[in-house]
Amino acid sequence: MKKTFVNDEKIMEVVRTYPTPFHLYDEAGIRRTARDLLKAFSWNPGFKEYFAVKATPEPAILKILKEEGCGCDCASLTEMMLADRCGFSGSEIMFSSSDTPAEEYLYAYEHDAVINLDDISHIAFLKKILPAFPKKMSCRYNPGGVFTLGESGEGFQVMDTPEDSKFGMTRKQIFEAFRQLKALGVEDFGIHAFLASNTLSDEYYPALAKIIFQLAADLQKETGCHVTFVNLSGGVGIPYRPEDRKNDIFAIGEGVHRVYDEILTNTGMNDVAVYTELGRYMLGSNGCLVTKVLHLKHTYRDYAGVDANSAHLMRPAIYGAYHHITVVGKEHLPHDHVYDITGSLCENNDKLAVQRALPELEEGDLLVIHDTGAHGASMGFNYNGKLRGAGILLCSDGSTKLIRRAETPEDYFRTMIF
Ligand SMILES: *Cc1c(COP(=O)(O)O)cnc(C)c1O
């Protein structure tokens, strides 16, 4: 039986204080996840996790991660401003963006963030807008083709198509980019790559590391550029479905360690720092969405209309993503009713679950939608005049605290000109 970090009693207690719907985050779980990650990579003295801010742009959570020694991975001006306001500075901020506007590069430069270039053409762009080149820079690599791992009877464990991805440079371009950057005064070089999302295999990071470490060795040898860090980026997944396996972060860290020794230590490059930019792995299972059943409707299907909608959790609507749902106080009952769990948007894909077997529902039932801590609230939008919801932190001492208030109609009208 799949569980979240809160039991039913706690949910009932929180609901007495805060109206549904809200995202609830688990401070203890976030700290534990961060500590385990750091421990798993403690063999690498320069290791740093740059939390992918887009996953959960919450000041209270960013501050917790900062206390645990993490930096921030930002992809926009406002994400960098948020990181700045949460106390991150200089090389604690990785700026991994694409199609980047000039003012965002300038902001990154002025705040000494580490710039990760998505394309070789951006070198000429930066020449026009920056007073000088930073000493430390990174380039994003895209090996093209199809990336697969772990063929089994049922297909591949991991499969993604870098070739279709808009991100990163080709091998030829990254060699040329390093040469150009070196001529412009860059001294510390990094390589970044993101090949597959939400992977459920302890072999993803090691396989990715093998590709980037080898590239790092080739680049350093052929261009004379000093590679000082490799960024394995995001992509380590979480078990959204009850039958999914949970990644073993210690096995992942050891797997990367093995490849590091094989390729880098053997070539005398044992000063290379390993960075990660995990979002989902850090926060996904450390958050859930609590919502209440408003209406039950029986037509050609059975529908349970809840007070949350896709503005609180868009992943099911846009990716067909699965989020497990438990019903407070009813988990012991037979799951013999099948529902579409809907929100109130005028879009038929505004469903948080489709054809889901659950216990029989009644008006007022509380549903806990699992694993919404990353790429959940952050994807919220205002379509149909929907307002984004609140965020509550379940603190390590068991107390709760509001970390984001729900939007009000005033927020919705703020940018309108009448
Ligand atoms: C989204 C993103 C991440 C985080 O991805 P997860 O799937 O949450 O691990 C990391 N780096 C970059 C550049 C990203 O765009």
Q: What is the pLDDT of residue 349?
A: 96
How many Å lie between the centroid of ligand 1 and the Cα of residue 235? Answer: 6
The greatest distance separating any two alpha carbons of the chain, rounded to the nearest whole angstrom, comes to: 69
| Structural element, H or E, at residue 122 | helix 121-129
**Beta-strand pair 390-394/351-358:** unpaired
Q: How many helices (H) and strands (E) does the chain have?
A: 12, 19
Q: How far apart are CA 74 and CA 277, in angstroms?
A: 10
Can you list the residues of the chain whose pLDDT is less than 50? none
Contacts of 385 (CB under 8 A, 6+ apart): 412
What residues have CB less than 8 Å from 228, skipping those under 6 apart?
Answer: 46, 136, 188, 189, 190, 271, 272, 273
Q: Which two tokens stand for residue 29?
A: 């779980």
Q: Which CATH superfamily is domain 285-413 in?
A: Lyase, Ornithine Decarboxylase; Chain A, domain 1 (2.40.37.10)
CA of 199 to the centre of ligand 1 (A): 12
CA distance 367 to 6: 12
Provide the pLDDT for residue 12: 97
- The CATH 2.40.37.10 portion of the chain extends over 285-413
- Which ranges in the chain are annotated with CATH 3.20.20.10? 41-278
| pLDDT score at 313 | 98
Secondary structure element (H or E) that encloses residue 227, with its range: strand 226-231
280 lines ligand 1 (CB under 6 A): yes
Per-residue pLDDT, 215:
98
pLDDT for 150 equals: 83
304 bridge partner residues: 296, 341
Residue of the nearest CA to atom 5 in ligand 1?
Answer: 234
Pocket test for ligand 1, best of 277, 280, 315 (most atoms within 8 A of CB): 277
Q: Quick one: CA dihedral 326, 376, 163, 202, positive or negative?
A: negative
- Residue 257: partners with Cβ closer than 8 Å, 6 or more residues away: 43, 44
In this prediction, residue 151 carries a pLDDT of: 75
Q: What is the pLDDT of residue 305?
A: 98
The tokens of 221 are what? Answer: 């040898």
Note the pTM of the prediction, 2 decimals: 0.97
Ligand 1 pocket member 217 (CB < 6 A): no
Q: Whose CA is nearest to atom 3 of ligand 1?
A: 234
Whether the CB of 374 sits within 6 Å of ligand 1: yes
Tens-digit pLDDT profile for residues 67-125: 999 999 999 999 999 999 999 999 999 999 999 999 999 999 999 999 999 999 999 99
> Where are the alpha helices (H) located in 261-404, listed in sequence order?
280-283, 315-319
Say if CB 92 and CB 114 are below 8 A apart: no
Fold of 41-278: TIM Barrel (3.20.20)
Q: Is 82 in the pocket of ligand 1 (CB under 6 A)?
A: no
Which one, of 245, 159, 240, 228, lies nearest residue 195 by Cα?
159
Ligand 1 within 6 A of CB of 234: yes
Q: How far apart are CA 170 and CA 150, in angstroms?
A: 25
Atom of ligand 1 nearest to the CA of 116: 13
55 CB under 6 A from ligand 1? yes
* Separation CA 239–CA 244 (nearest Å): 5
Q: How far is CA 98 from CA 104, 105, 116, 277, 291, in A?
A: 11, 11, 9, 16, 35
CA of 277 to the centre of ligand 1 (A): 6
For ligand 1, whether the C-beta of 73 sits within 6 Å is: yes
